[in-house]
Structure 1
Amino acid sequence: MSSENLRDIYALLVVARERSFTRAAAQLGVSQSALSHAIRALEARLGLRLLTRTTRSVAPTEAGERLIASVTPRFDTITRELAALGELRDKPAGTVRITTSDFAAQTVLWPKLSGLQRQHPDIRIELNIDTGLTDIVSERFDAGVRFGDQIAKDMTSIPISAATPVCIVATPQYLAQHGTPQTPADLTRHLCINLRFALRGGLYAWELQQDGRSLQVRVDGPWVFNQISMAVEAALAGCGLAYVPVALVRAPLESGHLQTVLPDFCPTFPALHIYYANRHQASPALALVIETLRYHA
């Protein structure tokens, strides 16, 4: 149906309800002559008279009554749906889709957002674990979470964590059997648990620091994962050395199930940030998610 027909049918409904072209024209914000012309044009397109006009009143014809009875519930439904959309604009509701890493999901997003969702059951949260830098606009994500230095300049970003220290860990049993590395060069002689991220393609070179300069060490071992959480599991199983964020291994370090090696050579990564497209205004649901995640020192 053309927009012209929809507009004129709505005008017919208002005239029939008010039983007056004058009152209907005032409600619609048009002149009485323009409203009369619109109704006549609709009647001409349908080939039927819809209103009976007298000098004192306006009443629907049999065809007009049938059309009005048929379309009024549909216009009422449209009105209710538009009102519901207005409520979505004003209160946190709907789906928030976020692309993130497993590390960020485990250490920041899940701990904070699980409580938020229970408090606001109208919000639906979708976390997509991805090691690449997903284009949040083309992939229709509301936001992404990455380290601050990985975010494009045309995005709005907000920190959601402190800076992220990393460490190299292994079980006491592994170190007793294979020895403890004393320098980064020693890592090449150990069983190391590798990571392969979509962003980098090849195996991830461990980023270390020595005498104020950065260095990358390529390691080897029997296991390769694309998620850091699995590298932690492999380290706990005694499969070798793992290079992981401290936040993921704090509990096993405190319990003694893992130990750190080469702590003076391990760097600190930037803070995690949540980011979204500058040209998109954050919905109430996304705005609430951002405020819940926002880092306060």
Structure 2
Amino acid sequence: MEEILSGQDYNQLRAFLAVAEALSFSRAAATLGVSPSALSQMVRGLEDSVGLQLLHRTTRTVALTEVGEALFQRIRPAAREMGLALNQIAESRENPAGTVRVHTFRSAVRKHIDPILESFTARYPNVVLDITLDDQVVDIVAGGFDAALRIGEVIEKDMVAVRLGPELRQIAVATPDYLARYGAPQHPRDLVHHRCIRWRWPGEALPYAWEFFEDEAWFSVAVDGPLIFSDKESALVATLKGIGIGFPIEDTVREPLADGRLVALLEPWCAPFPGLFICYPRQRQMAPALRAFIDAVRAGPETQGGQAAARSVPAKSA
């Protein structure tokens, strides 16, 4: 656009405004931190550019011409508005405001977002958290999200990813009643002869093939069974009812394992994998509201980083 100012035009207008406000070259020069002669040159440059005299100058006084007065009255409100805008942005560093759009796996919400919501909203009343709960792996940038919480193996390589907790592990589990009726698998490949509670990644056509670790490599078993869910909590409920063998995250079944409602199966083949991370696009200047949210999640209820796995396990193929 031709109306956009060049750097020289902006500096000349700024010089003119300072002189018009102070009606003194020396006072205006002190305000801008330049010499009076340099300030005079900038004003003359502006007058040469518009082809009209903007200031009357004598050895004792400075006054606006009629054209200068009209220009001054026209641009002074715009200059003040720009100053207010910059001040507002600077203030937002101390008082974050605005909307932070977050895409998160459901499991991450319970563990890392729910526990901080009360304190975060109290501390940052001008920040709106727009949280989408979805286990589908979406493009963060294309979806218009500022950040995402997801497991490490499905994070895009160009994202900044910060670990939120220790590695996770999926384990096969079943109720004592199910095992009494159908017996226990002795190897993951035995699962093809069992009733399994399956789960499907949102947006995928086929159910997730259960992944196990053996001989320093991951392998998959395409299990079968009477139920397929797109929600892991529902799959766990069905497992607890004894309908079939489930494959939940170990952390979500510690209580039923401890009280005997569930029995762990095939543990030698159930290896840890990268846990939950908060990830966001790489950026030079981060919005204060986003920085506040990331810091709050990182400092959340659990010690960050967790413990290293007992054995070295290569990453799954995403």
TM-score (norm 2): 0.72
Secondary structure class of the residue paired with 2:125: coil
CA distance in structure 2 between the partners assigned to 1:226 and 1:234 by the alignment: 13
Structure 1 residue 32 corresponds to structure 2 residue 34 = no
Of residues 175, 179, 182 in structure 1, which corresponds to 2:182? 179
Aligned to 2:314: none
Q: What letter matches 2:124 in structure 1?
A: H
* CA gap 1:237/1:262 in 2 versus in 1, 3 angstroms: closer
Q: Tell me the alpha carbon deviations over residues 226-259 of structure 1, each in whole angstroms, 9 at most, x when there is no partner.
A: 3423323443565533211122234454566x41
CA distance in structure 1 between the partners assigned to 2:221 and 2:256 by the alignment: 25
Structure 1 residue 15 corresponds to structure 2 residue 22 = no
Q: What letter matches 2:5 in structure 1?
A: S
Aligned to 1:232: 236
CA distance in structure 2 between the partners assigned to 1:266 and 1:56 by the alignment: 88
Aligned to 2:209: 205
Q: Which runs of 5+ in 1 are unaligned?
A: none
Between 15-24 and 105-114, the greater mean CA deviation after superposition: 105-114
CA deviation after TM superposition for structure 1 residue 3, in Å? 0.9
Contact 1:107–1:247 under 8 Å retained in 2: no
Aligned to 1:80: 84
CA distance in structure 2 between the partners assigned to 1:180 and 1:34 by the alignment: 93
CA distance in structure 1 between the partners assigned to 2:270 and 2:41 by the alignment: 77
Of residues 101, 117, 123 in structure 2, which corresponds to 1:119? 123
CA distance in structure 1 between the partners assigned to 2:179 and 2:241 by the alignment: 14
**Runs of 4+ in structure 1 over 6 Å off:** none
CA distance in structure 1 between the partners assigned to 2:85 and 2:153 by the alignment: 42
CA distance in structure 1 between the partners assigned to 2:280 and 2:12 by the alignment: 41
Contact 1:207–1:216 under 8 Å retained in 2: yes
* CA gap 1:17/1:229 in 2 versus in 1, 3 angstroms: same
Aligned to 2:57: 53
Q: What letter matches 2:207 in structure 1?
A: L
Q: Tell me the alpha carbon deviations over residues 36-80 of structure 1, each in whole angstroms, 9 at most, x when there is no partner.
A: 323414653xx6x54343332222345544543444333222212
CA deviation after TM superposition for structure 1 residue 86, in Å? 1.7
* CA gap 1:243/1:40 in 2 versus in 1, 3 angstroms: same
CA deviation after TM superposition for structure 1 residue 163, in Å? 1.9
Aligned to 1:295: 304
CA distance in structure 2 between the partners assigned to 1:254 and 1:261 by the alignment: 10
Matches within 5 A, 1:238-277: 239-253=243-257, 258-264=261-267, 265-277=269-281
CA deviation after TM superposition for structure 1 residue 161, in Å? 1.1
- The CA RMSD over aligned residues, in Å, is 3.6
CA deviation after TM superposition for structure 1 residue 188, in Å? 2.4
Contact 1:167–1:261 under 8 Å retained in 2: yes
Contact 2:102–2:148 under 8 Å retained in 1: yes
Q: Which runs of 5+ in 2 are unaligned?
A: 307-318
CA distance in structure 2 between the partners assigned to 1:254 and 1:67 by the alignment: 79
* CA gap 1:191/1:114 in 2 versus in 1, 3 angstroms: farther
Structure 1 residue 3 corresponds to structure 2 residue 10 = no
CA distance in structure 2 between the partners assigned to 1:270 and 1:103 by the alignment: 14
Aligned to 1:188: 192
CA distance in structure 1 between the partners assigned to 2:114 and 2:91 by the alignment: 27
CA distance in structure 2 between the partners assigned to 1:286 and 1:82 by the alignment: 23
Between 97-106 and 275-284, the greater mean CA deviation after superposition: 275-284
Contact 2:100–2:128 under 8 Å retained in 1: yes
Aligned to 2:313: none
CA distance in structure 2 between the partners assigned to 1:236 and 1:65 by the alignment: 81
Q: Tell me the alpha carbon deviations over residues 192-229 of structure 1, each in whole angstroms, 9 at most, x when there is no partner.
A: 22222269763211123468764422112343333423
CA deviation after TM superposition for structure 1 residue 19, in Å? 0.3
Contact 1:195–1:203 under 8 Å retained in 2: yes
* CA gap 1:121/1:249 in 2 versus in 1, 3 angstroms: farther
TM-score (norm 1): 0.77
Aligned to 2:164: 160
What is the number of residues matched between the two proteins? 292
